[in-house]
Amino acid sequence: MTIGSNVKKIGSGAFMNCRNLTRVTVTAKGLTSIGKNAFKGDRKLKTVNLRKVKALKKVGKGAFKGISKKVTVKVPKQKKKAYSKLLKKAGIAAGRIK
């Protein structure tokens, strides 16, 4: 699934329990927040591509809780440290952030 370039926020629980969701690509450079439990329970979610996102400031608690343990999250190289901190709080293990 691709989340378009005009999106500023992904709301709380927006894609919660989408059991067939395997891949998410966000093309919105201006995405500022991912809400609480946004992708919670998406057990088959294995790839999250945030490489084009330049403005992420907040990721809600449990946003990625219950997704595949083999998930790979791709972030912009220049933002890796900041985004890693946000994503760890949301349920992504540090070693899964590329």
Instruction: Report the distance separating Cα 4 and Cα 10, nearest Å.
Output: 11
| Angle at 81 (CA atoms; ends 36, 63), nearest 5 degrees | 10
Mean pLDDT of the chain: 96
CA 25, CA 49: separation in Å to the nearest integer? 5
Q: What is the pLDDT of residues 48-77, one digit of tens each?
A: 999 999 999 999 999 999 999 999 999 999
Angle at 10 between CA 4 and CA 45, to 5 degrees: 80
pTM for the structure as a whole: 0.93
